[in-house]
Amino acid sequence: MRKSAIAALLLVILGNIGVWALWNRPVAERSWGGAISGVGYTPFHPDKSPSKGDKASAEDIEKDMKALEGSVKGVRIYSTTDGSEQTAPIARKYGIPITAGAWIAGKPEIDEPEINGLIKLARDNNNVRRVLVGNEAILRADVTVPQAIEYIKRVKKKVNVPVSTAEPWHVWLEHPELADAVDFLAVHLLPYWEGVPADQSVDYAMFRYNELKTKFPNKHILISEIGWPADGPWRRGAEASQVNQAKFIRTFLNVAAQNKLDYFIMEAFDQPWKREIEGTAGTSWGLWDAWRKPKFPMIGEVTELRNWPLLCGISIAVGFLPLVFFLWRRGGDLKFGGQVFYGAMIQGVSSVLVFTFTAASVAGLATTTEIAWGILVFCQLVLLAVMLIDGLELTEVVWQDRFKRKFQPCSAAPLPNAPKVSIHVPCYNEPPHMVMETLDALARLDYPNYEVLLLDNNTKDPAVWRPVEEYCRKLGPKFRFFHLDNWPGFKAGALNFGLAQTAPDAQHIAVIDSDYQVHPDWLKATIPHFDRPEVGFVQSPQDYRDWSHDLFQRMINWEYAGFFHIGMIQRNERNAIIQHGTMTIIRKSALEEVGRWGEWCITEDADLGLRLFEHKYEAVYMPESYGKGLVPDSFSAYKTQRFRWAYGAVQILKHHWRDLLPGGTRLTAGQKYHFVTGWLPWFADAAHMIFGIAGIIWSLGLLAFPKYFEFPPSVFMIPTLSVFAFKVGASLWLYEARVKCGFWDKVGAAIAGMALTHTVGRAMWLGMLTSGRPFVRTPKCENQPALMQAFLMAREEIALLLGLWGAALAIVVVFGHENRDAFMWSGLLVVQSLPYLSAFITALINAFPNIGLGKQRPEPTEAAKAGAD
């Protein structure tokens, strides 16, 4: 590698380390060196869940008590029927006192065994110092206050230890009669659930504690739960994080020691199974993780990820080979800035993947959780792959050092014996005046040796095709007209008929659409490139005319321009351009060698180009414009055209997939790359359609069944939003570099492109699930649609737009007051809706007279009028 590539490699790796270090910079907090008064304890290891009917084992409890010995002075348990009752006799061996609890659910079949078990536990184990009849049972409304008091009285008669029930602070304040019935107050102080910021949370907890102390001066107060989760959603100002957990716990332990508080930290060990009932936050309150390893030190500095150096090293290793491969293969063709930019993207993506997989690995063991995380990880892989593809294109466009394959138009006058070109103009039901203008332009070609075959394919109305036939006759013997009735094979069938009618001495076949007006120099500038026998076809860009008077047509003109001035130029560097069915010239012998036009495919042009590459032919792309056609008049026609392109792309992939695999030998690596990655964003559009529908369904689940649905982790939402921002920024940057248009034209092109997302998505799904979709032409010279037609043209997009907006609004209204993740999720729904909003805006611009109508098409030329007559 060059020295600049080595420097870029080192700079990118050091930058990645710096970002990891900055994100995980240590935080100094008050230290704690003593034992903890008590911890809540649920004896389930990661491989077990009480929701599945699992019971805690004595072996697991024995391991846990060994781990807690010397670190805590007491343990609180919550049940006497799930295996937790084994804790007391095992803890006695380690000198650990127990505060035992009975789980009360307001159902006799649950409550009675729990109460009987609690009484037995207190009688049989002298290390059971206190008992709690219920845990937030009143808060959950499982029992009423009188029912809770009755349970408490029953237990008090049967045991010789203090009896209470555990409830949040406000339940005690609201029900002083409950305080009268117990021997002490067992209060839960959990500022996180109340949305209190971490920096204020200990003071807030002490405020509530003192409030109870003032209200009930003669009652001992046990803080039966207090803590902070290491992971979970934002709740107003409360952020769940490892640093905030350590900060809260350390601060509280010092305050508790100063004030001689009686407390249990919530909790000893993380419990992944709680995700099903409490979401992410419920899994991460432990001082130790689910594998019984301390999550943070009690003395010294704290970092968000203690093992971040290891994760950083893994991310560097994951991205190292792709980074070296990129710098080795492409570094020499890029300026230093491009090497650093794309290298940083590779390392950034690898870091995001490592972080994501780390988060997924500790997500929990529930089947639904595993499925959800698996889908999210896969979706993120697709998104990041698309971002890398877009990023490489941006890098090559902005920082390209030199072009390897740049072709110049030939300016020399052609000789009288220049190779003969047969120009084929397929036509179906097109306005006669438009086709006549196309023929007029062909008649003005500055080239000595060519013929024109007008192939009218299945036009039913003689009033449409007979004027064109007569006009061809007037233009002379170079122009031949063919009308085909009930001809199979769509456009490809017509072109194959034309190939059979081509003059025997023609060496090249040129194809233009019937709306294209070519420049007189077209053949003169391009045909000499066929002097090299390896050249199979020469392609000029599609270009357009008569669009500046109409905002809708202006938008789609610049949307088209992006591909021909950005994508095609980059594809040409690897001899991997897409052949288009207009402004293309093919060597006749090559066309016959590869099997003529493919009548099985509705994008016969792109299929032919790929087959020519498979037969080792070379393509020449000349970015200069030598012909201009007409953009679609309506949003419906614009969608129809893109649907055909996308559906045809899937047909081609299904037909040629073996050659596109890494082991295929008929295509180069660069050709495989561009043909696969060029269409991958369209598969992303197919996924976007599913994501939008899934987003609405998931939002309904959040609203109707919050116990079973939770907001996706920010580790997925933030990258998704970032990828969208990158795509928008990259698009504008690419246009600034290659497409010479104003800022608002760039914005209009972006809106027009996004407006096709749903159409492309539908085409991709139909392409994957069906075959043989009929060819649909893109109509030209249509009348502008009425306003109501604008809604009809975008009816599916509008329905999804309203669904996503409604879901986003409902989520903010219901959850926004307490959960910042709700705003992020709503923002994600809004972002997902932008393509549908773009479709609606584009349809309105097309239909609204004051914006999109403008003046009508220019009148036909006098010659065309004469021919029509």
pLDDT tens, 375-432? 778 888 888 888 999 999 999 999 987 788 889 999 899 999 999 999 999 999 999 9
* Whole-number pLDDT of residue 854: 42
pLDDT for res 296: 92
pLDDT of residue 857: 42
Which H helix or E strand runs over 640?
helix 635-660
Architecture of domain 29-300: Alpha-Beta Barrel (3.20)
Q: What is the pLDDT of residue 867?
A: 33
pLDDT of residue 868: 32
More confident residue, 365 or 474: 474
Strand 506-511 relative to strand 584-587: parallel, antiparallel, unpaired? Answer: antiparallel
The residue assigned the tokens 């007409």 is 630
Secondary structure (3-state) at 115? helix
Please report which helix (H) or strand (E) contains residue 263, including its range: strand 262-265
Report the distance separating Cα 368 and Cα 342, nearest Å: 37
Average pLDDT, the chain: 91
Please tell me the predicted confidence (pLDDT) of residue 234: 81
SS (H, E, C) 23-92: HCCCEECCCCCCCECCEECCCCCCCCCHHHCCCCCHHHHHHHHHHHCCCECCEECCCCCCCHHHHHHHHH
What are residue 164's DSSP bridge partners? 132
The pLDDT of 501-523, averaged and rounded, is: 97
What proportion of the chain, given as a percentage, has pLDDT over 70? Answer: 94
Answer for the pair 273, 294: CB distance below 8 angstroms, yes or no: no
Q: Cα(868)–Cα(475) distance, rounded to whole angstroms?
A: 14
pLDDT exceeds 70 at position 545: yes
- 860's CB contacts (< 8 A; 6+ apart) are 433, 434, 436, 437, 868
Torsion of CA 12, 18, 20, 24, to 10 degrees: 180
pLDDT above 70: residue 773: no
Run of H or E including 131: strand 128-135
Q: What is the pLDDT of residue 109?
A: 96
How long a stretch of residues is the chain?
A: 869
Most confident range, picked from 6-10, 113-117, 194-198: 113-117
* pLDDT digits 0-9 by tens, 25-77: 888 778 998 999 999 999 999 888 888 889 999 999 999 999 999 999 999 99
Q: Are 438 and 409 in contact (CB under 8 A)?
A: no
How do residues 798-857 score in pLDDT, each as one tens digit?
999 999 999 999 999 998 877 778 888 999 999 999 999 999 999 999 987 555 444 444
Q: 530-541 burial, b if ≥16 CB within 10 A, otherwise e?
A: beeeebbbbbbb
Q: Which of 635, 641, 643 is nearest to 552 (CA)?
A: 635
Q: Please give the backbone phi and psi of residue 506, each rounded to the nearest 5 degrees, phi first.
A: -70, 135
Instruction: Give 510's Cβ-side CA count (13 Å radius).
Output: 28
What is the per-residue pLDDT across 276-326, written as a single tens digit (0 to 9) for each? 788 788 999 999 999 999 999 999 999 988 889 999 999 999 999 999 999
Place 369 in a pLDDT band, splitting at 50, 70 and 90: low
Structure-model confidence comparison of residues 536 and 1, the more confident one: 536
- The rounded distance, in Å, linking the Cα atoms of 761 and 767 is 10
Q: What angle do CA 25, 31, 33 make, to 5 degrees?
A: 135
Phi first, then psi, for residue 230 (nearest 5°) are -85, -15
> 861: pLDDT confidence band, cut at 50, 70 and 90?
very low
Residues in contact with 702: Cβ distance below 8 Å, sequence separation at least 6, in sequence order: 709, 710, 711, 811, 815, 825
pLDDT given for residue 285 in this prediction? 96
CB 288 within 8 A of CB 269: yes
CATH 3.20.20.80 domain span(s) along the chain: 29-300
DSSP 3-state of 592: helix
Closest CA to 214 of 263, 266, 169: 169
Q: Which helix (H) or strand (E) holds 121?
A: helix 108-124
Q: Is 581 exposed, middle or buried (0-12, 13-18, 19+ CB in 10 A)?
A: buried
DSSP per-residue codes, 183-228:
SEEEEEE-GGGGT--HHHHHHHHHHHHHHHHHH-TTSEEEEEEE--
Contact 778, 426 (CB under 8 A): no
Over residues 429-455, the pLDDT tens digits come to: 999 999 999 999 999 999 999 999 999
Average pLDDT estimate for 579-588: 96
Q: Residues 713, 714, 715, 720: is their CA dihedral positive or negative? A: positive
Write the DSSP symbol of residue 291.
T
- Mapping DSSP onto H, E and C, the string for 790-851 reads HHHHCHHHHHHHHHHHHHHHHHHHHHCCCCHHHHHHHHHHHHHHHHHHHHHHHHHHHHCHHH
Average pLDDT over residues 653-668: 93
Q: Hey, what amino acid is at 466?
A: R
pLDDT tens for 609-620 read: 999 999 999 999
At 314 the pLDDT is 95
Cα–Cα dist 682/603, whole Å? 15
Q: From 620, 8, 11, select the one nearest 332 (Cα to Cα).
A: 8
SS3 label, residue 641: helix
Can you give the pLDDT at residue 363?
Answer: 58
Say whether pLDDT at 563 is over 60. Answer: yes
Q: 778 — alpha (psi -120 to 50), left (phi > 0) or beta?
A: beta
Give the whole-angstrom CA distance, residue 208 versus residue 95. Answer: 32
Q: What is the DSSP string of 329-391?
A: HHGGGB-HHHHHHHHHHHHHHHHHHHHHHHHHHTS-S-HHHHHHHHHHHHHHHHHHHHHHHHH
- Tokens for 616? 């080792």
320, with CB counted inside 10 A (0-12, 13-18, 19+), is middle
Average pLDDT for 737-763: 95
Confidence of residue 859 (pLDDT cuts 50, 70, 90): very low
Distance CA 863, CA 470 (A): 12
The answer to whether the beta carbons of residues 143 and 174 sit under 8 Å apart is no
d(CA 555, CA 817): 40
In terms of Cβ atoms closer than 10 Å to its own Cβ (0-12, 13-18, 19+), residue 413 is: exposed
**pLDDT at residue 250 above 80?**
yes
Q: How far, in Å, CA of 784 to CA of 425, rounded?
A: 26
The residue ranges of DSSP E strands in 447-515, in sequence order, are: 450-457, 479-484, 506-511
Sign, Cα dihedral of 795, 801, 804, 806: negative
Dist. CA 723–CA 730, nearest whole Å: 10
